[in-house]
Amino acid sequence: MIIKIMEWIKFFFHKEPVDIIPHMIESKEDYYNNKYPKSNIFYNRKELDGEYKIDVRLFLNKNNCLLPILNEGSDDEKALQGLKWVLQNITYTSDTSEYKNNEYWAYGYQTLKHKKGDCEDGAILLYDILRNAGIPAWKLRLSAGWVMLANKKVGHAYLTYYCEDTEKWVILDWCYWENTVAIKDRKEYKKEINYKETWFSFNEDYSWTKGLNNQAKELLE
């Protein structure tokens, strides 16, 4: 009987039972919150009065009254609106140029004020905007990992978003291969050929990693 059910799932959903069955017995939120190993991840932030070891989740803050207000609509519509706002209002600038530091994670309010930042700065701000608009935290993840740029692997940070209509995670990248394609028409993030291994990811509730490599450790230090 169990084998028949598994065959039925595979035939009608065109997916392996292992990808479908979890949704039948637990919510999508619980499933994705627990799919990957959780781990505390810290970033060493350099300030004038010394270095601070900061839990990466603390960089995210939806409770800022200065964040842009998005129009009413579905989560998908808000996600695209937020991405367009960042594309139109934030200029990509290196940490060396803006903060005189080789690697400096800015809080959303800093990027909002300066209207400048590098990859993780814009991704953090975009997360704050979408959370402030009411998109649940579990549908958003700030990810860091390898991407291919000019035939070379480089480190990059970007936001991923879960589209419930298509049941897939998609990339909302404001500075590498940026685009305004409708959310439902975006490729699943795993099929985006320029995005390679993920080092770690996080939202305001959890942080996940299968193990930090040397590049991830260097970024966080």
User: In Å, how far are 123, 144, 166 from 202, measured between CA atoms?
Assistant: 12, 9, 22
pLDDT tens column, 123-171: 999 999 999 999 999 999 999 999 999 899 999 999 999 999 999 999 9
Q: Which one of 12-16, 70-74, 94-98, 169-173 scores highest in mean pLDDT?
A: 169-173
| Residue 21, both tokens | 């069955």
* Class in CATH terms, 38-220: alpha beta
Predicted structure pTM score = 0.87
Type of residue at 200? F
> What's the CA gap between 175 and 190, in Å, rounded?
19
Main-chain phi, psi angles of 30, to 5 degrees: -65, -40
Residue from 209, 70, 189 nearest 126 by CA: 70
Would you give the DSSP letter of residue 143?
A: E
Break the chain into its structural domains and give their ranges: 1-35, 38-220
| Residue 64, both tokens | 């800022």
pLDDT tens column, 189-207: 999 999 999 999 999 999 9
